[in-house]
Structure formats: structure tokens, C-alpha cells
Structure 1
Amino acid sequence: MMSLFDFLQQYIDYIILGLLCFMSFIMLWAVVERFIFLGKVNVSQYSNIHDLDIDLNRNLTVISTVGANAPYVGLLGTVIGILLTFYELGNSGGDIDAASIMVHLSLALKATAVGILVAIPSMIFYNALGRKVEVNRLKWKALNENKHGE
């Protein structure tokens, strides 16, 4: 029977990197959907700013959540990788191979790097889309000031 240690040692990379890939896919889907929507939204169709805000901000939370949490998922993978390395060291019976330790630790750090690689574009897209939301909100306000000012 496979122990938890053996399971984690074999599959932690697939679990963490798979989760980060899934988060990237969800984020990219939300980004594409938002860019398409914000590119063709007609603010004059909205009678109040609250309905406009609901539509403008839809899916932005998903993008922000991925950007904020991807580094933590990567860090979790790194911490588990380091724990596994130390566990293996403790069970090695004193045969410590520095090269092997460095390889295991460097492989553990790749999860954090991938988490950061997912987070950076997420936050760039979130900020760019936030600006588009603000521009559309200001267009609505300008349009409605002109209607009420006449």
C-alpha cells in the first residue's frame, strides 16, 4: 500500500502544477469574456449605474482571486516539496548527498515560480480591465449628465 509520503512524492508536482494550469485556464477564459463584453457594451442601454456596475464587474473577482492566490498555491507546492526533502533526508540514515538535496529543493521551488507566473498576468489583466470598467462608468455618467442637463 502506498503511503502518503510516497503519494505526495510522486504526484505533488502534478497536483500543484495542474491546479495552477486550471487556475490559468479559468483566468484566461474570464479575461477573454470580459474583453469581448467591454469591447461591445453600450452604456446608453442602462437606465441606472447599479445595473451597469453589475455587468461591468462580472468575472473580475475571478481574475483577481486567481492573481491573489496563485502564488500561495505555488508556495504550498514548494513547502510540501521541502518537507518531503527533509523527510527523505531524515530517513536516509545519515547518507546525506548535498547534490541530491539541492536538486530536490530546486525542483520544489519551481511551484512558487509557476504560481508567480500565473499571478503576474492575472493582475495585469485585472488592472487593465478595471480601467476599461472605469472608462465605461464615466461614459455612462457623462451621457446621463447630458440627458439631465438639457
Structure 2
Amino acid sequence: MEFLKANLDLGVIGVLGFMSFLTVAFVIERYLHLARIDLAAYDHLEDLELDLTRHLTVIASVGANAPYVGLLGTVFGILITFYDIGHGGTLDTAAVMVGLALALKATALGLLVAIPSIVFYNALLRRVEVLKVRWGRQRRAADAAVSTDP
């Protein structure tokens, strides 16, 4: 229990920090890639979709799972608080409140990671949809030009 008590914050913050790093790295990579993509280079919609949506799953997974990592940290923090109270022999409401407040910071950190991840994921998904529509327009225009050519 002492190991968990000593390393809980470090573990939760480390995992959430790694998740944040992945999100930031993939968001930057995706924005740069989508800004310079050449739609004319793709002959099939499936190839375009594969290229446009690469790494979006990681961003969405971070957004979906970061609150659970925070919640896990909170549950362990509450567990440690109750364990300490049980071994202390006295019920001090101040100690309980401080322990619970410190435990809840893990949930707050999880939400702090998740909310921007979901916002970026949705923004990137919208950009992907716009690029797919533009690709379709370009293909139809090219096909129309070929069919009217004598």
C-alpha cells in the first residue's frame, strides 16, 4: 500500500502526460499533413480515406480513455484515504476531506486531457470530410471534362 501511496500521483500524471504528448504530436502531424495534401494524387476514395484518417484513432482513443485513467487514479486515491483512516484509528473529517480532494485531482486531470483531444478529433474529422467532398468534386469535374472532350 505504501508503494501505491508514494507513486499514485506520479503514475497517473505520467500516463496522462504520455497520452497528452501522443495527442499533441498526432494533432500537429495531422494538421500539417491535411494542409499540404494533394487530392489529385489519389485515384480511389478508399486510398484517400486511409491517408486522411491515419492516427485519428489514437486521438479519439485518448479522448475516450483519459477520463477513465483519471477515474482510476481517483478510486485508488480514495482507497488510500480510507486505508489511512482505518489504520489511524480516529475519524478526522479534515483528513478525509483533504484525502478526497487530492484524490479528485486525478479525475480533473483526466478531463483536462480528454476534452481538448475530443475537440481536436472532431475538428480533424470535419477537415477530413471537407477534403473528401473536394476530392469528389475534382473527380466529377475531371470525368466531365474527359466525357466532353472530342
TM-score by length of 1: 0.95
- Partner residue in 2 for 1:103: 98
Aligned to 2:121: 126
The whole-number CA distance in structure 1 between the counterparts of 2:107 and 2:120 is 20
Moved over 4 A (4+): none
* Cα RMSD for the two superposed structures: 0.7
Amino acid in the other structure paired with 1:57: T
User: C-alpha separation between the residues in 2 aligned to 1:9 and 1:102?
Assistant: 17
Separation in 2 of the partners of 1:24 and 1:32? 12
- Between the aligned partners of 1:64 and 1:24, the Cα distance in structure 2 is 12
- The one-character-per-residue Cα deviations of 1:4-40 (angstroms, maximum 9, x if unpaired) are x000111100000111011000000000000000000
Aligned counterpart in structure 1 of residue 142 of structure 2, from 134, 138, 147:
147
CA deviations 1:39-87 (Å, max 9, x no partner) are 0001111011111000000000000000000000000000000011111
The 1-side partners of 2:92 and 2:108 are apart by 25
Matched with 1:83 is: 79
Does residue 61 (structure 1) correspond to residue 75 (structure 2)? The answer is: no
Q: Which amino acid aligns with 1:101?
A: V
Deviation at 1:106, TM superposition (A): 0.2
Q: TM-score, normalised by structure 2?
A: 0.95
Equivalences, count: 145
Q: Structure 1: give runs of 5+ residues left out of the alignment.
A: none
1:55 aligned counterpart, secondary structure: helix
Query: Percent identity at matched positions?
Result: 51
